[in-house]
């Protein structure tokens, strides 16, 4: 009961600062995922290319990124870049998260593209379409519909992974929770509050992804 009272008290008193931090977390996530989608799509094309050296480049990128911890990647980019020139923590974290998520998004897009019947590409080419035009007008729209569920899951993972930006002193949700916990010794209360905010954003994100998926499915009928 005492914990619940303290939780409510801290939740109300810290609402303004946590709302600001949640906004920063949301911007960080959207920025990282925006660039992550382009990175993923680029490496997906390298992965399905008939040129072996492009396959090797894509495989190397995916293997290295998926085989090393995200926190190491964030530190490597943050301290590596800031060692050369001034770079804000927001952009260092955004780049690290974009590169990290791009490796997983590449595999999602690769699977989606390869799930489309090859006959559709052959039919488009026989009608005089170039490979690029057929990919843009025929293959990618269908692949995009199929990858919405796994892509949505990756977006949610990216949102939660953004908490690691706290370790490069960016004042997002987890960093604020750490600061408030250290200042008040109410560790459990503030980490619980941060969890509530993350949970709320994940629920909203999941709802939007489900709405998009249903709209795309309705458009096919």
The pair of three-digit structure tokens given for residue 3, joined into one six-digit string: 């914990």
Report CA torsion sign: 175, 206, 137, 142: positive
| C-beta of residue 172 within 8 angstroms of C-beta of residue 158 | no
Q: Is the pLDDT of residue 34 over 90?
A: yes
User: Which pLDDT belongs to residue 83?
Assistant: 67
pLDDT tens digits, one per residue of 43-95: 999 999 888 999 999 999 999 999 999 999 888 888 877 667 667 788 888 98
The pair of three-digit structure tokens given for residue 212, joined into one six-digit string: 């998009």
Residue 97's domain spans which residues?
2-220
What domain count does the chain have? Answer: 1
Could you identify the residue written with the tokens 């503030």? 190
pLDDT tens digits, one per residue of 201-219: 999 988 888 888 788 776 5
Q: What is the DSSP string of 94-105?
A: HHHHHHHHHHHH
| d(C-alpha 44, C-alpha 101), whole Å | 13
| d(C-alpha 60, C-alpha 37), whole Å | 18
User: Which pLDDT belongs to residue 102?
Assistant: 94
**CATH number for 189:** 1.10.3720.10
Could you identify the residue written with the tokens 């090859």? 118
Entry pTM:
0.88
């Amino acid at each position: 009961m005492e914990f619940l009272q303290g939780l409510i008290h801290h939740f109300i008193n810290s609402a303004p600062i946590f709302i600001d931090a949640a906004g920063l977390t949301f911007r960080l996530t959207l920025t990282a995922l925006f660039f992550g989608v382009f990175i993923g799509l680029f490496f997906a094309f390298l992965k399905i290319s008939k040129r072996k050296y492009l396959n090797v480049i894509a495989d190397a990128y995916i293997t290295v990124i998926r085989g090393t911890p995200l926190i190491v990647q964030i530190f490597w980019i943050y301290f590596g870049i800031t060692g050369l020139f001034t770079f804000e923590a927001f952009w260092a974290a955004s780049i690290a998260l974009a590169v990290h998520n791009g490796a997983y998004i590449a595999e999602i897009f690769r699977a989606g593209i390869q799930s489309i019947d090859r006959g559709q590409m052959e039919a488009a080419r026989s009608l005089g379409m170039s490979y690029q035009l057929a990919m843009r007008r025929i293959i990618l729209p269908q692949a995009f519909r199929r990858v919405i569920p796994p892509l949505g899951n990756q977006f949610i993972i990216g949102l939660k992974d953004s908490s690691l930006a706290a370790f490069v002193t960016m004042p997002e949700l987890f960093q604020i929770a750490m600061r408030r916990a250290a200042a008040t010794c109410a560790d459990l209360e503030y980490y619980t509050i941060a969890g509530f905010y993350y949970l709320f954003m994940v629920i909203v994100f999941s709802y939007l992804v489900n709405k998009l998926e249903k709209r795309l499915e309705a458009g096919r009928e």
